[in-house]
Amino acid sequence: MSKKKSAQTTIRQIKKMVSDMVKANDFKGIYELVAKEGRAISALISMSYDKSSELSWRALHMAGRVIGELANDDYDAARGQVQRIIWNTSDESGTIPWTAPELLGEIVRRNPEPFKDIPPIIEGYAHSETEDNIFLAGVLYALGRIGELHEEYIDDEGRYIITEELAHKDPEVCANAIIAAGKLKMELPDDVAASLLTRQEEVKIFRDEKLISVRIDELVRDQA
């Protein structure tokens, strides 16, 4: 009984340390903690699932940086984390990793060479047999984040996905397509741009370490 209580306390302590470091943007501290305590990565990833929370977005970016950097020091451990994220998206896992594409995108953005097989996997999440694809906005976010620094890792399929989703009825999907197109310096077709300028739905986006609200038409004007 006492051992179980002690283990639970230790897990809580790890989560508290990780949360405090994310708030402080302490990458060095989290990276050193991960080296000593592998559960710190799990705690970090578990913080990243709530896309309505600014702290979750910060945790998501931090997790990508940590795993990307880890590939330089312990390639197998980093690949193991990537495989775990991918596994969690499968039906067999029984989980719903809402931010899996975004996490994978941040890992590639941080360190693309060891993970050059991952962008096509991210693109694969854009295809769904159902109309309600919970990963689609995240795929577009990831493609934009990768392409902003490493355009060569976004192939024709990635660009096609971005173009196709510019007119998506879901404002979050549409907004992320617009942002990704801007980061990849893709020009919006005139007819698509004209249509988007009539859309005034508000969406929340994570920009400059802050979660902000913006209208779709404003995003288009920002890209012009």
Element (H, E) at 210: strand 210-215
Give the model's pLDDT for residue 190: 95
Q: How far apart (Å, rounded) are the C-alpha atoms in residues 5 and 122?
A: 39
Give the model's pLDDT for residue 6: 40
Give the model's pLDDT for residue 8: 54
pLDDT digits (tens, 9 = 90+) for 76-109: 999 999 999 999 998 787 777 889 999 999 999 9
Q: Which of 58, 47, 62, 53 is nearest to 16 (CA)?
A: 47
pLDDT at residue 2 tops 60 = no
Both tokens of residue 101?
């594409």
CB 213 within 8 A of CB 204: yes
| Position 43 confidence tier, pLDDT thresholds 50, 70, 90 | very high
pLDDT digits (tens, 9 = 90+) for 6-25: 445 488 899 999 999 999 99
| Position 4 confidence tier, pLDDT thresholds 50, 70, 90 | very low
Would strands 202-207 and 210-215 be described as parallel, antiparallel, or unpaired?
antiparallel
Both tokens of residue 28?
């060095």
| Position 167 confidence tier, pLDDT thresholds 50, 70, 90 | very high
Q: Which amino acid makes up residue 12?
A: R
The number of helices, as runs of H, and strands, as runs of E, in the chain is 12, 2
Residues in the chain: 224
Can you spell out the DSSP letters for 132-196? --TTHHHHHHHHHHHHHH-GGG--HHHHHHHHHGGG-SSHHHHHHHHHHHHHTTPPPPHHHHHHH
Share of the chain above pLDDT 90, in %: 86
Q: What is the pTM of this model?
A: 0.93
pLDDT digits (tens, 9 = 90+) for 130-166: 668 999 999 999 999 999 999 999 999 999 999 999 9
Q: How far apart (Å, rounded) are the C-alpha atoms in residues 111 and 65?
A: 8
Q: Which of 72, 67, 62 is nearest to 38 (CA)?
A: 67
pLDDT at residue 49 tops 50 = yes
